[in-house]
Amino acid sequence: MFSFFRRKKKQETPAPEEAQIQETAVKAESEVAQIVENIKEDAESLTESVKGRVESAVETVSGAVEQVKETVAEMPSEAEEAAEKAAEQVEAAKEAVAETVSGAVEQVKEAVAAMPSEAVEKAAECVESAKEAVVETVSKAVEQVQETVAAMPSEAGEAAEKAAEQVEAAKEAVAETVSEAVEQVQEAVAEAVATTEEHKLSWAARLKQGLTKSRDKMAKSLAGVFGGGQIDEDLYEELETVLITGDMGMEATEYLMKDVRNRVSLKGLKDGNELRGALKDALYDLIKPLEKPLVLPETKEPFVIMLAGINGAGKTTSIGKLAKYFQAQGKSVLLAAGDTFRAAAREQLQAWGERNNVTVISQTTGDSAAVCFDAVQAAKARGIDIVLADTAGRLPTQLHLMEEIKKVKRVLQKAMPDAPHEIIVVLDANIGQNAVNQVKAFDDALGLTGLIVTKLDGTAKGGILAALASDRPIPVRYIGVGEGIDDLRPFDARAFIDALLD
């Protein structure tokens, strides 16, 4: 009995399946676009595969039970009762092991459905728990069978000895099989953690690289300030000049200077090279309120995001990148080609739709509001999670166009009373202080709930976020620091400051 463990341990242990699931979860973190979508599409086949492995293991253990029963048939009648008891104990162990393995697999599958970074840790816990449970269950069953065999009448002789050998072999095989399976999964989990950390570092590196121009300009200007001289009024004046020329604006600069002076006084700082930490902390306190990631509610209705901005800010490109970002979270997305004025705007959005395998609602003629209305209706009918509504670019001074974008908002509210749920203006970081004026104008017209700041990699004006935080502190949902599809990410105040000043 249990001799099957040595022969088939590699084929029948479910742990490699768990390892495969872990590997999939990791790839979902580093290659967000394809892997998470694959997990969603292949959920049914994955479930069948796992069920097949568990059923196979149960069937094989049943074979071991039959071996015990055959041994019973060869024993003297007085040994039959004891041997039947042994068979029942093995049967109970079989069911307990199958249930334990199935439960562990289900936990791992649930972890995969969660955020990939959580899945890595969860899977490790599930596998370790399964290992302990399986070993404990089988060891207990083995001990019970050994006791039963030892209690058999001596007449059973050779048959009892044979049963004892099979039980001992089973115990060793089970321990070896489970240990090997767990090691495989733990290796996969370790690789997953490493890959996840590498991905996080790669984003930090891209952020730092993207802010090179702003950082170089700031570093060159601050070299004299942080050069080690005595902290005095001349040094403060020099720092103030650097902040103003760094596009932080007068209001933000005044706030930062006051904050830095207070920190210097409280900490008793004397040398200029100690100012860097004080400036970083002051800047963090200023822009931290902008760090409010967009949280999608759990609802059956579509979440409608309306995007506005001037031509050339990167609005349509940001929509395409957002579609990919939301898909990575397992959300279904629909795009509304509401920019019906700019030449080739519809074709550009359709290209993003094809690239992301996302439906685009558009019209060859018609106004922006009608397109957005149709998109929301289509999303409701199809059970889509998120609608990204593009609108025509316009300058805040173009009053007739600003009235038109107000109309888009009103029409969206007719399509769904609480829509749009998020109104975002897309800003080109290259325009510096003009960004503040744009935000004020669009906010007054639409009531903005968030910002996307793009092209931070192409400007030396990274200080614009400080100006926004001071003049109109609307949450910065995402920032763009490159042309890659993964270069649009949620705003992280600390990471931004480190990349700007370190």
Question: Is 447's pLDDT higher than 60?
Answer: yes
pLDDT at residue number 130: 59
CB 468 within 8 A of CB 289: no
Which tens digits make up the pLDDT trace of 224-233?
A: 677 767 888 8
Which tens digits make up the pLDDT trace of 275-319?
A: 888 888 999 999 999 999 998 988 889 999 999 988 888 888 899
Percent of the chain at pLDDT > 70 equals 53
pLDDT at residue number 133: 63
Same domain as 264, residue 184: no
| CB neighbour list of residue 178: distance below 8 Å, 6 or more residues apart | 13, 15, 131, 134, 135
pLDDT at residue number 60: 54
Same domain as 169, residue 47: yes
Kindly give the residue spans of alpha helices, DSSP state H, lying in 288-429.
315-328, 345-356, 368-382, 399-415
| CB neighbour list of residue 76: distance below 8 Å, 6 or more residues apart | 153, 155, 156
Same domain as 73, residue 145: yes
Which tens digits make up the pLDDT trace of 335-366?
A: 998 888 776 778 888 888 888 889 999 887 67
Q: Which residues are annotated as a binding site?
A: 309-316, 390-394, 454-457
Range of the domain at 219: 213-289
Tell me how far apart the alpha carbons of residues 253 and 433 are, in angstroms, rounded to a whole number. Answer: 13
Q: Which residues are annotated as a binding site for GTP?
A: 309-316, 390-394, 454-457
Which tens digits make up the pLDDT trace of 177-214?
A: 555 555 555 555 555 554 444 454 455 566 655 555 65
Query: Which pair of structure tokens corresponds to residue 26?
Result: 């990791």
pLDDT at residue number 414: 93
Question: Is 34's pLDDT higher than 60?
Answer: no
Question: Is 113's pLDDT higher than 60?
Answer: no
pLDDT at residue number 89: 66
Same domain as 242, residue 171: no
Does a cis peptide bond (omega within 30 degrees of 0) precede residue 420? yes
Question: Domain end: 289, 308, 324, which one?
Answer: 289
pLDDT at residue number 375: 94
Burial of 67 (0-12, 13-18, 19+ CB in 10 A): middle
- The residue-averaged pLDDT of 425-436 equals 86
Question: Domain end: 209, 233, 255, which one?
Answer: 209
CATH number at 342 reads 3.40.50.300
CB 89 within 8 A of CB 141: yes
DSSP-based helix, strand, coil % in the chain, nearest 5: 70, 10, 20
pLDDT at residue number 308: 92
Question: Is 61's pLDDT higher than 80?
Answer: no
Top-confidence range, 64-78, 206-220, 354-368, 465-479: 465-479
Return the SS3 of 360. strand
Which tens digits make up the pLDDT trace of 398-427?
A: 777 788 889 999 999 999 999 999 999 999
Same domain as 331, residue 263: no
- The residue-averaged pLDDT of 478-483 equals 81
Same domain as 172, residue 102: yes
Percent of the chain at pLDDT > 90 equals 23
- The residue-averaged pLDDT of 22-38 equals 45
Question: Is 50's pLDDT higher than 50?
Answer: no
Which tens digits make up the pLDDT trace of 88-110?
A: 766 666 666 556 655 655 555 55
**443-449: long-range pairs with CB below 8 Å, 24+:** 443/472, 443/474, 445/396, 445/402, 445/405, 445/406, 446/306, 446/308, 446/405, 446/406, 446/409, 447/423, 448/423, 448/424, 448/474, 449/422, 449/423, 449/424, 449/474, 449/475
Question: Is 475's pLDDT higher than 90?
Answer: yes
Same domain as 301, residue 278: no
CATH number at 226 reads 1.20.120.140
Please provide the average confidence, as pLDDT, over all residues in the chain: 72
Tell me how far apart the alpha carbons of residues 184 and 82 are, in angstroms, rounded to a whole number. Answer: 39
Count of structural domains, the chain: 3
Tell me how far apart the alpha carbons of residues 454 and 480 are, in angstroms, rounded to a whole number. Answer: 4
| pLDDT category of residue 25 using cuts at 50, 70 and 90 | very low
Same domain as 266, residue 205: no
438 backbone φψ class: left, alpha, beta (φ>0; ψ -120 to 50): alpha
Same domain as 421, residue 300: yes
Same domain as 29, residue 135: yes
Same domain as 85, residue 20: yes
Question: Domain end: 187, 209, 231, which one?
Answer: 209
pLDDT at residue number 254: 93
Rg, C-alpha atoms of the chain: 32
User: Comparing 223 with 180, which gets the higher pLDDT?
Assistant: 223
pLDDT at residue number 36: 40
Same domain as 60, residue 26: yes
| CB neighbour list of residue 385: distance below 8 Å, 6 or more residues apart | 296, 302, 303, 326, 331, 332, 333
| pLDDT category of residue 43 using cuts at 50, 70 and 90 | very low
pLDDT at residue number 246: 79
pLDDT at residue number 425: 95
| Lowest pLDDT segment from 77-81, 187-191, 363-367, 462-466 | 187-191
pLDDT at residue number 405: 87
pLDDT at residue number 341: 78
